[in-house]
């Protein structure tokens, strides 16, 4: 089986065009990747050109993805693809370790895939013999050569350091393992006027409520979709976000205006368990469908920017900062572990910039 990944510009956004043999099981796997869309124009699948997409696609070997059961079948396929029994055992032990440390399922998968990428590169070399020089070669001859991102490289390093810290008799000197310089990019933000245009362009009450809640509370996509009815306290005017990123719980305030919108939505749709459910009652709304909702809303609002759901969260934080909210409170509202993460919004806030007078104006 052959497949090909090509970076492209599609409808004004950076995408990854994915071409492979037309096999139903492979189509199903591609559809499971966040942001995957089929283009009748391109006659292929395409994904957002992001670190997350590249991470998932990097090791998407069609020979491995046809398994119908989880662990046993995956191990068989790994063996049939040429992966040694030593690597298979290493991955099993690494997963066992990560589970004991209570890492999340998505993190475990990402770390295992990252480690597998490195070990497959040195397929013929015993794991115990791998050292920092081997990692240096891998970085240059694989990651940089294939133009993979610095963020992906950093994830590889995290997985390797964590794994080799548990290997007895390893030659990998962890003190010499370096992380790449990751470019510091400012968050993408919509103006209040653009947010208003987006929300007022939504005709469907459910779709409008989903986007409104995302912006009004600065929630992540997964936090919106995982939100249950009993986690909304209209009396205290708060929403309880349970087991969010990093395993943390937090509370975010909601306004009476938002409560009224949520009540109108509830009366019409009457969800059973999750606040936003799909066609089947009791099952949460699909992430790809949510992304499609935003895409259509952006189109109807006439906003010519490659907006993602996370832009709404960035906009929420920036607009709070613009209005004078203390950075420490914003950190708590967003659920950031470090204040340094929240400080990125100071680079896009216009609150202080408005007070700066250009020397041109005093001529």
Residue 62 three-state SS: coil
- The pLDDT, as a whole number, for residue 123 is 86
Asked if the model's pLDDT at residue 62 lies above 60, the reply is no
Q: What percent of the chain has pLDDT over 70?
A: 88
Q: Tell me, letter by letter, the H, E, C secondary structure of 97-117.
A: HHHHCCCCHHHHHHHHHHHHH
pLDDT digits (tens, 9 = 90+) for 262-297: 999 999 999 999 999 988 888 889 888 999 999 999
Kindly tell me the sign of the dihedral angle through the C-alpha atoms of 116, 117, 123, 125. negative
For the residues 337-341, what does the mean pLDDT come to?
85
Asked if the model's pLDDT at residue 102 lies above 50, the reply is yes
Question: What's this model's pTM, rounded to 2 decimal places?
Answer: 0.66
> How many CA atoms within 13 Å lie on the side-chain side of 97?
15
Superfamily for domain range 192-353: Intergrase catalytic core (1.10.443.10)
For the residues 192-204, what does the mean pLDDT come to?
94
For the residues 230-235, what does the mean pLDDT come to?
93
At the top level of CATH, the class of 3-176 is mainly alpha
Structural tokens at position 65: 């993805």
- The pLDDT, as a whole number, for residue 166 is 83
Query: Scanning the structure block, which residue is given the tokens 């202080």?
Result: 352
Asked if the model's pLDDT at residue 56 lies above 70, the reply is no
Please state the domain extents for the chain: 3-176, 192-353
Helix segments in the chain, DSSP class H:
24-31, 51-58, 71-80, 85-100, 105-121, 132-138, 150-164, 192-200, 205-217, 221-226, 256-269, 287-301, 309-322, 327-334, 339-342
Asked if the model's pLDDT at residue 77 lies above 70, the reply is no
Nearest to 309 by CA among 108, 31, 50, 104: 50
For the residues 74-78, what does the mean pLDDT come to?
51
- The pLDDT, as a whole number, for residue 182 is 74
pLDDT band, very low/low/confident/very high, at 80 (cuts 50, 70, 90): very low
- The pLDDT, as a whole number, for residue 69 is 37
pLDDT digits (tens, 9 = 90+) for 144-164: 888 888 888 888 899 999 999
Structural tokens at position 206: 């459910």
pLDDT digits (tens, 9 = 90+) for 247-269: 788 999 999 999 999 999 999 99
Active site residues: 220, 245, 310, 313, 336, 345
**How far is 342 from 318, CA to CA, in rounded Å?**
10
Rounded to the nearest 5°, which phi and psi values hold at 6? -130, 125
Asked if the model's pLDDT at residue 79 lies above 60, the reply is no
């Amino acid at each position: 089986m052959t497949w090909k990944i090509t970076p492209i510009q599609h409808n004004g956004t950076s995408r990854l065009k994915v071409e492979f043999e037309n096999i139903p099981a492979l189509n199903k796997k591609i559809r499971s990747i966040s942001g995957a869309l089929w283009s009748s124009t391109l006659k292929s699948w395409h994904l957002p050109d992001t670190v997350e997409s590249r991470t998932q696609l990097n090791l998407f070997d069609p020979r491995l993805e046809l398994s119908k059961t989880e662990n046993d079948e995956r191990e068989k396929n790994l063996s049939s693809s040429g992966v040694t029994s030593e690597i298979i055992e290493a991955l099993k032990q690494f997963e066992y370790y990560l589970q004991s440390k209570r890492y999340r399922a998505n993190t475990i998968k990402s770390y295992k895939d990252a480690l597998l990428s490195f070990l497959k590169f040195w397929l013929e070399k015993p794991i115990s013999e791998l050292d920092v020089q081997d990692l240096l070669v891998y970085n240059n001859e694989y990651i940089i050569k294939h133009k993979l991102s610095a963020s992906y490289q950093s994830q590889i390093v995290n997985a390797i350091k964590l794994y080799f810290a548990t290997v007895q008799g390893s030659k990998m000197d962890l003190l010499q393992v370096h992380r790449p310089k990751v470019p510091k990019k400012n968050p993408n933000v919509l103006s209040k006027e653009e947010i208003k245009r987006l929300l007022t362009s939504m005709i469907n009450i459910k779709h409008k409520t989903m986007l409104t809640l995302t912006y009004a509370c600065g929630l992540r996509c997964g936090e919106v979709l995982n939100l249950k009815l009993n986690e909304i306290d209209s009396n205290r005017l708060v929403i309880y976000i349970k087991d969010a990123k990093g395993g943390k719980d937090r509370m975010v305030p909601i306004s009476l205006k938002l409560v009224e919108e949520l009540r109108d939505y509830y009366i019409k749709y009457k969800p059973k368990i999750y606040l936003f459910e799909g066609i089947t009652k009791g099952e949460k709304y699909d992430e790809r469908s949510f992304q499609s909702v935003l895409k259509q809303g952006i189109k109807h609002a006439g906003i010519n920017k490659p907006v993602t759901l996370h832009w709404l969260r960035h906009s929420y934080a920036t607009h709070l900062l613009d209005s004078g909210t203390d950075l420490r409170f914003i950190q708590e509202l967003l659920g950031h572990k470090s204040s340094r993460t929240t400080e990125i919004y100071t680079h896009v806030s216009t609150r202080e910039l408005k007070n700066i007078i250009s020397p041109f104006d005093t001529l």
